[in-house]
Amino acid sequence: MPEKKKLLDHREIAKELDLYFFDEKIGQGLPLLLPNYTIIQNQIKNFLQAKQKEFGFQEVITPILGSEELYKTSGHLAHYEEYMFPVLSRNNEKLRLRPMTCPHHCSIYQQKPRSYQELPLRLCENSLLFRYEASGGLKGLERPRCFELPDHHIFVSMDKLKEELKNNYLYISQILITFDLKITRLAFSTHDPANWQKYHSGKNLWEQAEKLLQEVLAELKLNYTLLPGEAAFYGPKLDLEVQAADGKIITLATMQVDFLTPQKFGLQYINEKQELKTPVIIHQSPIGSYQRFIALLLEQTEGKLPFWLAPCQIAILPLNEEQETINYCDKLKKNLTSIDLRAKIIVEKTLNYRIRQNYRQKIPYYLVVGKKELEEKKLKLTYTYSSTKETEELEEKELHEKLKEKSNKKQQ
């Protein structure tokens, strides 16, 4: 059993797929993400951006730094400083690498007066975040000190809050279904009334927020585990959790209700009666950080990623080194690349070695190209993810159509 866990650990799988590495000269917990990793993340990012548009999110970009005053206002310095990098100080200006994006998005909200007609205002950002995790807690992509988070903040009126929470749960569910990730539990985290120093004050707001989130869970008919004392410092939260290869339960997606931060920043909108009201913020991330999400995806798929995510989708293996064969393989690769498929030619060592490499690198398909294939103008396509050796003969046009269709399917 321990050996099985080692095989499933994303750090071992990532070595085979050549995804990332660490360098002490760069620093602990700061991964260098390689081309194969970047392909996977960009594919996920493109998929998420389409979903964000579908659900009415607007994408923004904000700085990776914030002033100490900003984090005093948000409460991060009081409640989260142990996970923040030390202050950067120059010419009496004190800055911090940001651990979260919510203060920056609050600043965007404050940019101009807001009307009830603009709400819900749904902002999203691929946020580069920095958290000073203890060196003993670092774990590959699952827990680094620098990571990228598809971070969402929804500014909403109280009367539309319940509807928006349901809408956001639907948004998260549709995304996770696409990746076929196995959710271990749904955790509803509330505050601990005996430990107020851990949270923003405001007993009535806490009770109101927790009651409303509980009603949403009931109306969606969701089973959940109640975790008293595990709320964020600004509000209750709903976490979708997954079991990692080492057996630990970690948070994947999250949705948090926040009545308190809008008050801290003095956020307001004008309602139908021309009165000033305070919005509520929903903090939400559908997949957590890209790094952690990809780590969990590697473990649950054993590195056999869905075809649309695989860094290399098809390997072309020339059977001989004759110029005619090499020229055809070059042309074949060029044609596949022209229709947005990711292919590479592998020529080193023996054919058997190259086939073994194909399996080790988890490339979904390979083609062996020799004299027969050139003469008959048919290609033998082998599927490496199958427990039995699945092969089929296709003309090049049929190959293009089959692989392009498979690449366009996000759920496989």
- Per-residue pLDDT of 182-227, as tens digits, reads 888 899 988 777 665 666 666 777 888 888 889 999 999 999 999 8
**Residue 198 has what pLDDT?**
65
Question: Rounded to whole angstroms, how far apart are CA atoms 338 and 342?
Answer: 9
CATH class of 314-408: alpha beta
Residues 6+ apart with CB under 8 A from 35: 311
Pick from 337, 344, 253: nearest CA to 18:
344
Angle among Cα 412, 389, 39 to the nearest 5 degrees reads: 40
Residues of the chain with pLDDT under 70: 1-7, 194-202, 410-412
The three-point CA angle 362-292-136 to 5° equals 110
Here the tokens at position 233 are 């410092």
Q: What is the pLDDT of residue 209?
A: 83
What is the pTM assigned to this prediction? Answer: 0.91
b/e string for 5-33 if b means 16 or more Cβ within 10 A? Answer: eeebbbbbbbeebebbeeeeeeeebebeb
Every domain of the chain and the residues it spans: 2-301, 314-408
Residue type, 80: Y
Distances (CA, A) of 170 to 15, 167, 177, 231: 35, 5, 10, 22
SS (H, E, C) the chain: CHHHHHHHCHHHHHHHHCCEECCCCCCCCCCEECHHHHHHHHHHHHHHHHHHHHCCCEECCCCCEEEHHHHHHHCHHHHHHHHCCCCEEECCEEEEECCCCHHHHHHHHCCCCCEHHHCCEEEEEEEEEECCCCHHHCECCCECCEEEEEEEEEEECHHHHHHHHHHHHHHHHHHHHHHCCCCCEEEEEECCCCCHHHCCCCHHHHHHHHHHHHHHHHHCCCCCEEEECCCECCECEEEEEEECCCCCEEEEEEEEEECCHHHHCCCCEECCCCCEECCEEEEEECCCCHHHHHHHHHHHHCCCCCCCCCCCCEEEEECCCCHHHHHHHHHHHHHHHHCCCCEEECCCCCHHHHHHHHHHCCCCEEEEECHHHHHHCCEEEEECCCCCCEEEEECHHHHHHHHHHHHHCCCC
- Nearest-10 crossing angle of helices 396-408, 323-338: 40
Backbone φ, ψ for residue 316 (5° rounding): -110, 120
CATH number listed for the domain at residues 2-301: 3.30.930.10
What letter represents residue 190's amino acid? Answer: T
Question: Which is it for strands 249-258 and 280-285: parallel, antiparallel or unpaired?
Answer: antiparallel
376-408 per-position pLDDT tens digit: 888 989 999 887 778 888 888 899 999 998 888
Query: Rounded to an integer, what distance in angstroms lies between the CA atom of residue 279 and that of residue 68?
Result: 24
Q: Is 234 exposed, middle or buried (0-12, 13-18, 19+ CB in 10 A)?
A: buried
Do the Cβ atoms of 324 and 374 come closer than 8 Å? yes
What is the pLDDT at residue 206?
A: 81
Tokens of 78: 């009081």
Interhelix angle 290-301/35-54, rounded to 10 degrees, is: 110
Count of CB atoms within 10 A of residue 250's CB?
18
Measured between alpha carbons, how far is 399 from 392 in angstroms, rounded to an integer? 10
